[in-house]
Chain A
Amino acid sequence: DIQMTQSPSSLSASVGDRVTITCRASQSISYYLNWYQQKPGKAPKLLIYGASSLQSGVPSRFSGSGSGTDFTLTISCLQPEDFATYYCQQSYNTPLSFGGGTKVEIK
């Protein structure tokens, strides 16, 4: 099974900050890596698929990069609505798996 490790598990940031979240896979997953945003009481929302493709309707301040085992999600200029928990997910093979999440909090 492929293990997904996110870091940090939480971070505090201010509006306007640049934020980077890292996701590492326990084996190569090529570019089969997706990112989601989840707010309390809501279902996750797809932000990035295929490691770097922006989902339709998602603001361009979100970007993804990486391939193989190491991936990053970057929020270029943090907005108030971006405070949430972010998850990575590998879709390289089954069982599909998610990272443990990164909670982005207001500083």
Chain B
Amino acid sequence: QLQLQESGPGLVKPSETLSLTCTVSGGSISSSSYYWDWIRQPPGKGLEWIGNIYYSGSTYYNPSLKSRVTISVDTSKNQFFLLLNSVTAADTAVYYCARRVYNSGCYDYWGQGTLVTVSS
């Protein structure tokens, strides 16, 4: 059974960089059949797509965040990563990593989510 697990600091200061890791177990991140995505959800609000990475390293980012986001992958560790710089209180959210099926574009597996609060 595939599992995804987010990890990283739960509190980040304004103007600093948010850094999260998603560890994938029970399956390989090096599959051509999937993208690996980051999605966030501010408290009490809806879902926002941040971006994704393919096992080859190619990335796509939401234009609304593109200037501040970097997603990378370490296939040897079966992990992918999110960096979001210059954070503000508006970046406070639950951050999810998820597997997106290449053909349909649906998210069939999600991490449990991790709350990141931006505050001094």
Bits for A27-71, please: 1 = Cβ < 8 Å to B, else 0: 000001010100000111110011001010000000000000000
- The interface residues of chain A lying within 8 Å CB-to-CB of B60 are 94-95
Tell me how many residues of A have a C-beta within 8 Å of chain B: 25
Interface residues of B in 49-66 (CB under 8 A from A): 49, 60, 62-64
Bits for B94-113, please: 1 = Cβ < 8 Å to A, else 0: 00101011001111101111
Main secondary structure of the interface of A (DSSP, over half): loop
- The interface residues of chain A lying within 8 Å CB-to-CB of B111 are 43
- The interface residues of chain A lying within 8 Å CB-to-CB of B113 are 43
| Cβ contact of A44, chosen from B62, B63, B110, cutoff 8 A | B110
Pair A95/B96 contact, Cβ less than 8 Å: no
Tell me how many residues of B have a C-beta within 8 Å of chain A: 22
Closest residue on chain B to residue A41 by CB atoms? B113
- What are 22 inter-chain pairs, A to B, with CB distance below 8 A? A32-B104, A32-B105, A34-B107, A36-B107, A42-B112, A43-B110, A44-B96, A44-B110, A46-B106, A49-B101, A50-B104, A53-B104, A89-B47, A89-B107, A91-B106, A94-B60, A95-B49, A95-B62, A96-B105, A98-B47, A98-B48, A99-B46
Q: A-B pairs with the 9 shortest C-beta distances?
A: A91-B105, A43-B110, A49-B106, A34-B106, A96-B49, A98-B47, A95-B62, A49-B104, A94-B60
Residues of B near any A CB (own CB < 8 A): 37, 46-49, 60, 62-64, 96, 98, 100-101, 104-108, 110-113
